[in-house]
Amino acid sequence: MSEEKSKPVPRPGILDIAAYVPGKEHAPGVARVYKLSSNETPLGASPKAIEAFRNAAGSLERYPDGQATELREAIAAVHGLNPANIMCGNGSDELLGLLCHVYLGPGDEGIITEHGFLVYKIQIMGAGATPVVVREKDHTVDVDAILAAVTPKTKIVFIANPGNPTGTYVSVSEIRRLQAALPKHVVLVLDAAYAEYVRRNDYEAGIEIVSSNANVVMTRTFSKVYGLAALRVGWMYAPVDIIDAVNRVRGPFNMNAAAIAAGAAAIRDQAFTQEAASFNQTWIEKMTGGLEAIGLKVTPSVANFVLIHFPDVDGKRAPDADEFLTSRGYILRAVKGYGFPNALRMSIGPEEANRGVIEALGEFMGRKS
């Protein structure tokens, strides 16, 4: 008999995981608060999605469709895909976790990048495997650094493309080069949570490369441009063998009925989606220009947020700016946990918030320190 314990003990490694800390929501004592810390859309969800959500209230006693058929078919129609290659999840976070659960175990390694999304590390460790962190170059995923880190133990590679919190992206030719050089049994996960925002000719979210390879998965979300973060709707596009494996461990009703209905209505409303993406494009440019004009460095972003770097000067560092902005009702995201102790990430918000942040930071930078 093994040694007796006085209380339940988690598997080795579980208590080494640093739990995910979501973006701040409150600015105590401030009347008008703008939450710009979680990359949520300032335009809300499509009115059609809201209506579908309300309609779902009429049949709450019924289990949802365990295959999320309506949603998978709506996604497939918009993107020109086969629904058999699509799986939906309770947020794409759930799918990232399921992929780790299926492809990783103790002794295995999962490669993540220096400034990569923290959920990857959490899920790799949750599966009992070891995260291997590789450096980025100019705040951008570096394919050569990833390839140099591959060992016989590597089973999965996670890339956020565009990256969060950097907002940078990797070109389709670089992704192809990575896939071609990875061993065929290594799962390459392309997390394209911000794909709808990208306006670059050399970017591709992953559809093409998933379609032509057996080891690539693309994950997507309805939490950003579609404005359904509260409902938790994500999906992945993957080869059928991967869909089949993950389906075996997926909760049978992982998608709730309201999420299925609202998600399907949201993705069918591409006019609304385009409007949200172009509002973002306008403001990404204005924000970047406005912040640079007051002497701040901004990492060039193709997503719906900007990474703002502060001077290494007493009274003008990121925590000082965070405090200053919070006292004025602007909540940004501290990104120390992502390897940027002297930067803040700001989601593009409504016009008045964007203008307000530029104005407030102008005041902050002009302050005598």
Binding residues for ligand PLP (CB under 6 A): 39, 91-93, 117, 160, 164, 191, 193, 221, 223-224, 229, 234
Residue 116 or 239: the one with the smaller Cβ distance to ligand PLP is 116
260: its two tokens: 């299925």
From the list 307, 296, 302, 312, the residue with the least C-alpha distance to 358 is: 296
Q: State in angstroms the smallest separation of the CB of 295 from ligand PLP.
A: 28
3-state secondary structure of 113: strand
Residue 303: partners with Cβ closer than 8 Å, 6 or more residues away = 39, 162, 164, 167, 194, 197, 198, 284
Helices (H), 213-350: 240-247, 257-268, 270-293, 318-327
Q: State in angstroms the smallest separation of the CB of 324 from ligand PLP.
A: 25
The answer to whether the beta carbons of residues 76 and 220 sit under 8 Å apart is no
Residue 164 or 280: the one with the smaller Cβ distance to ligand PLP is 164
What is the side-by-side order of every strand in the sheet holding 340-347? 297-299, 305-309, 340-347, 333-335
d(CA 109, CA 5): 30
Residue 17 or 30: the one with the smaller Cβ distance to ligand PLP is 17
DSSP string of 28-52, one letter each residue: TT-SS-EE-SS---TT-S-HHHHHH
Residue 256: partners with Cβ closer than 8 Å, 6 or more residues away = 64, 90, 231
Q: Which residue is nearest to ligand PLP (CB)?
A: 91
Residue 92 or 179: the one with the smaller Cβ distance to ligand PLP is 92
Residue 261 or 361: the one with the smaller Cβ distance to ligand PLP is 261
62: its two tokens: 């019924």
Q: Where are the beta strands (DSSP E) in the chain?
A: 34-35, 86-89, 109-113, 130-134, 154-160, 187-191, 216-221, 234-237, 297-299, 305-309, 330-331, 333-335, 340-347
197: its two tokens: 């925002």
- 168-181 b/e (C-beta count within 10 Å ≥ 16 → b): bbbebebbbebbee
Q: State in angstroms the smallest separation of the CB of 169 from ligand PLP.
A: 12
Q: State in angstroms the smallest separation of the CB of 93 from ligand PLP.
A: 3
Q: State in angstroms the smallest separation of the CB of 335 from ligand PLP.
A: 12
Residue 117 or 197: the one with the smaller Cβ distance to ligand PLP is 117
Q: State in angstroms the smallest separation of the CB of 87 from ligand PLP.
A: 13
d(CA 157, CA 148): 12
Residue 145 or 229: the one with the smaller Cβ distance to ligand PLP is 229
User: How far, rounded to the nearest angstrom, does the alpha carbon of residue 246 sit from its chain's CA centroid?
Assistant: 20
Burial of 364 (C-beta count, 10 Å sphere; 0-12/13-18/19+) = buried
Residue 143 or 195: the one with the smaller Cβ distance to ligand PLP is 195
Residue 238 or 361: the one with the smaller Cβ distance to ligand PLP is 238
Q: State in angstroms the smallest separation of the CB of 221 from ligand PLP.
A: 3
Q: State in angstroms the smallest separation of the CB of 368 from ligand PLP.
A: 37
Q: State in angstroms the smallest separation of the CB of 226 from ligand PLP.
A: 10
Residue 78 or 365: the one with the smaller Cβ distance to ligand PLP is 78
Q: State in angstroms the smallest separation of the CB of 91 from ligand PLP.
A: 3
User: How far, rounded to the nearest angstrom, does the alpha carbon of residue 153 sit from its chain's CA centroid?
Assistant: 26
